């Protein structure tokens, strides 16, 4: 009898201990934007730092750890999100390009967090089609969503919410923290912004931001891609030749505008947004852009002058959208403090990939070149991560699911392919976190016409294979950070290239990636590249 009493007492103490431990587990606030390049964040010390684009995100970086070598596995919106949900490469989770549909029935980290007692919510851009699973509450944009007065899919059907999308997502998240959060449960709240995705439509309060200044130009604005493979010369994402004056830069754009675009696969979402605007929003829009459109027509620009004008309007609108996201970060941080949650909440800021803000003369992403391959990652973990630290390890979005689970004290499934970043955040990492990262992009032929390619990046070198056309590129990032000199045919680098190729093959075997299509024949290459074939 006494032994039974002692057993019950021990069980009771054990359960009490578990509940206490559960209460001490950190909350997780994951703020995730779209297409926000690291070099458009002040804390990353890029060439746009001088315009002070992100004071609130910079403050977050000063309170935690900034990862300087953070990369995506596939530089495009939906696939990046699928990798984060599953902790698996695109070929494993089944979502390789934006045309795919995500299988929500598969294992995802929010489902696993629910099983260990976490409350889960997601607001904003999901971009994975279907209804989210693993979330106690959700409101997500259908597809890309709209900047102005967006529709949101909810468990109760589609609802329109008036306002600018960044503010709408922020307000929903604040409402959840204040009114829907269960006080005695840890949580993960995913705040997923559309901004600063194309077509870069800022909130009215930000129209005039940067209007009185010239944006610094990227050093490679007029790159001619002379030393790249033909892939770089046959894309459709040049500010010069492919950025539409009307649909991308809003010249003369009004709600009743529906004219032919300058490219076959034109994104017309800006025009659709104009149709959604209220009369007051429309008037504010035209009051700002109208006079500037008149000045543009009078200038009658051409050549490099026109490219520079297009870059200025694009960069300013992009950073105006970034400003809304930065203000969202400030609002969310203030809300945590107001609710007394700031000391036990991990705050993470990231974006689905990098982006070209005129770098190499481009906009958009997709390539394995650094500007679109790198993604921001900033983590504040009060009492655990030393404030103001910078990490140089090679990490990927492949690691996020494992990190969330590790933070929550949950088991990490063996079939996940990433690694928890918790040891790095605790300052316990010994040796190299990983030797190299693997990349594979699939969406071709499609918008912007970037060919399918895979590759490897080590601390110093990068090797890429545009396998449909059997074109290779190799870069020494230490000597050539802008990736202007392709060393693949350099005789003095052949031994090194062979070694890196073997590392690439080893990574493909490790991640079980056998998804590559058969390489095109020489005749097919010539048909596509023309005179560039084989160069």
pLDDT at site 10: 47
Identify the domain boundary among 401, 417, 433.
433
Q: Which residues contact 19 (CB under 8 A, 6 or more apart)?
A: none
Do 429 and 443 sit in the same domain of this protein? no
Query: What distance lies between CA 100 and its chain's CA centroid?
Result: 18
Do 53 and 163 sit in the same domain of this protein? yes
Task: Determine, yes or no, domain membership for 510.
Answer: yes
pLDDT at site 13: 41
Do 153 and 40 sit in the same domain of this protein? yes
Do 417 and 478 sit in the same domain of this protein? no
Q: How confident is the model at residue 262 (pLDDT cuts 50, 70, 90)?
A: confident
Mean pLDDT of 430-447: 93
- pLDDT tens-digit series, residues 323-358: 999 999 999 999 999 999 999 999 999 999 999 999
Task: Determine, yes or no, domain membership for 264.
Answer: no
CATH number of domain containing 474: 3.30.1120.10
Do 411 and 337 sit in the same domain of this protein? yes
Provide the token pair at 200.
């870069």
Distance between CA atoms of residues 145 and 177, nearest Å: 23
Task: Determine, yes or no, domain membership for 469.
Answer: yes
Mean pLDDT of 221-231: 94
Mean pLDDT of 315-330: 98
pLDDT at site 15: 43
CATH number of domain containing 195: 3.40.720.10
pLDDT at site 364: 96
- pLDDT tens-digit series, residues 128-140: 999 999 999 999 9
pLDDT at site 260: 87
Distance between CA atoms of residues 422 and 438, nearest Å: 21
Mean pLDDT of 98-116: 96
Task: Determine, yes or no, domain membership for 485.
Answer: yes
Identify the domain boundary among 433, 466, 497.
433
Query: Among 69, 81, 26, 111, which residue's Cα sits nearest to residue 424?
Result: 69
Measure the CA dihedral 362/57/85/265, to 10°. -20
Do 145 and 40 sit in the same domain of this protein? yes
Percent with pLDDT over 70 in the chain: 92
Task: Determine, yes or no, domain membership for 212.
Answer: no
pLDDT at 188 over 60: yes
Query: Among 359, 358, 356, 352, which residue's Cα sits nearest to residue 372?
Result: 356
- Other beta carbons within 10 angstroms of residue 284's beta carbon come to 16
pLDDT at site 337: 98
pLDDT at 297 over 50: yes
pLDDT at 16 over 90: no
pLDDT at 208 over 90: yes
- Other beta carbons within 10 angstroms of residue 293's beta carbon come to 19
Do 124 and 43 sit in the same domain of this protein? yes
Do 29 and 144 sit in the same domain of this protein? yes
Q: Domain of residue 324: give its range.
A: 2-200+314-433
Identify the domain boundary among 370, 400, 433.
433
For residue 9, the surrounding DSSP H or E stretch is helix 2-24
Instruction: Measure Cα distances from 127 to 83, 242, 416 in Å.
Output: 12, 25, 21
Q: How confident is the model at residue 523 (pLDDT cuts 50, 70, 90)?
A: low
Provide the token pair at 290.
């109208």
Residue scoring higher pLDDT (523 or 322):
322
Do 323 and 414 sit in the same domain of this protein? yes
3-state SS class at 67:
strand
Distance between CA atoms of residues 138 and 131, nearest Å: 9
Do 176 and 322 sit in the same domain of this protein? yes
pLDDT at site 18: 44
Q: How confident is the model at residue 391 (pLDDT cuts 50, 70, 90)?
A: very high
Our count of domains for the chain comes to: 2
Task: Determine, yes or no, domain membership for 122.
Answer: yes
Do 392 and 428 sit in the same domain of this protein? yes
Q: How confident is the model at residue 430 (pLDDT cuts 50, 70, 90)?
A: confident
pLDDT at 9 over 50: no
Task: Determine, yes or no, domain membership for 303.
Answer: no
User: What's phi and psi for 175, nearest 5 deg?
Assistant: -60, -45
Mean pLDDT of 78-82: 97
Distance between CA atoms of residues 45 and 314, nearest Å: 21
For the chain, the average pLDDT equals 93
Q: How confident is the model at residue 422 (pLDDT cuts 50, 70, 90)?
A: very high
Do 384 and 470 sit in the same domain of this protein? no
Task: Determine, yes or no, domain membership for 211.
Answer: no
pLDDT at site 533: 60
Tell me the HSE value of 504 on the side-chain side, using a 13 A CA sphere.
20
In 21-115, at which residue ranges do the beta strands (DSSP E only) sit?
A: 27-33, 65-67, 70-71
User: What's phi and psi for 78, nearest 5 deg?
Assistant: -60, -50
Range in 52-56, 144-148, 198-202, 527-531 with the lowest mean pLDDT: 527-531
pLDDT at site 487: 98
- pLDDT tens-digit series, residues 480-519: 999 999 999 999 999 999 999 999 999 999 999 998 854 5
- pLDDT tens-digit series, residues 441-455: 999 988 899 999 999
């Amino acid at each position: 009898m006494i032994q039974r009493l002692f057993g019950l007492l021990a069980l009771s103490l054990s359960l009490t201990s578990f509940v206490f431990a559960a209460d001490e587990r950190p909350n997780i606030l994951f703020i995730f934007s779209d297409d926000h390049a690291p070099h458009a964040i002040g804390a990353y010390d890029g060439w746009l730092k001088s315009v002070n684009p992100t004071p609130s995100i910079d403050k977050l970086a000063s309170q935690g750890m900034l990862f300087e070598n953070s990369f995506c596995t596939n530089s495009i919106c939906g696939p990046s999100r699928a990798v984060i949900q599953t902790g698996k490469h695109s070929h494993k989770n089944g979502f390789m390009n934006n045309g795919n549909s995500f299988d929500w029935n598969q294992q995802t980290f929010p489902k696993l967090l629910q099983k260990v007692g976490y409350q889960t919510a997601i607001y904003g851009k999901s971009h994975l089609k279907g209804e989210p699973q693993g979330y106690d509450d959700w409101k997500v944009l259908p597809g890309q969503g709209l900047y102005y007065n967006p529709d949101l899919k909810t468990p109760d059907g589609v609802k329109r919410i008036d306002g600018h999308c960044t503010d709408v997502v922020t307000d929903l998240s604040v409402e959840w923290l204040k009114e829907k959060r269960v006080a005695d449960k840890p949580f993960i709240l995913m705040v997923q912004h559309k901004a600063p995705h194309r077509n870069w439509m800022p909130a009215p309060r930000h129209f005039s931001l940067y209007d009185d200044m010239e944006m610094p130009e990227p050093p490679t604005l007029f790159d001619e891609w002379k030393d790249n493979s033909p892939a770089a010369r046959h894309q459709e994402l040049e500010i010069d030749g492919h950025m539409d004056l009307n649909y991308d830069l809003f010249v003369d754009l009004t709600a009743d505008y529906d004219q032919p675009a300058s490219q076959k696969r034109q994104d017309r979402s800006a025009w659709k947004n104009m149709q959604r605007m209220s009369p007051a929003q429309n008037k504010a829009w035209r009051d700002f852009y109208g006079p500037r459109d008149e000045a543009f027509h009078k200038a009658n620009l051409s050549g490099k002058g026109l490219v520079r004008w297009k870059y200025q309007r694009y960069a300013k609108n992009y950073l105006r959208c970034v400003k809304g996201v930065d203000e969202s970060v400030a609002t969310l941080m203030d809300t945590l403090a107001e609710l007394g949650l700031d000391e036990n909440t991990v705050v993470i800021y990231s974006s689905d990939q990098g982006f070209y803000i005129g770098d190499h003369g481009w906009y958009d992403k997709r390539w394995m070149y650094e500007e679109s391959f790198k993604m921001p990652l900033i983590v504040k973990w009060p009492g655990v991560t030393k404030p103001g630290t910078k990490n140089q390890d090679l990490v990927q979005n492949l690691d996020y699911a494992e990190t969330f689970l590790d933070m929550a004290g949950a088991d990490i499934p063996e079939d996940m392919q990433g690694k928890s970043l918790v040891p790095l955040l605790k300052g316990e990492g010994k040796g190299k976190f990983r030797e190299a990262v693997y990349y594979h992009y699939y969406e071709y032929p499609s918008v912007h016409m970037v060919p399918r390619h895979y590759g490897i990046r080590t601390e110093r070198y990068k090797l890429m294979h545009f396998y449909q056309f059997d074109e290779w590129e190799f870069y020494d990032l230490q000597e050539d950070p802008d990736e202007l000199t392709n060393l693949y045919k350099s005789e003095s680098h052949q031994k090194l290239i062979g070694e890196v190729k073997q590392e690439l093959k080893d990574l493909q075997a490790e991640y079980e990636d056998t998804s590559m299509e058969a390489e095109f024949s020489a005749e097919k290459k010539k048909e596509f590249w023309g005179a560039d074939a084989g160069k």
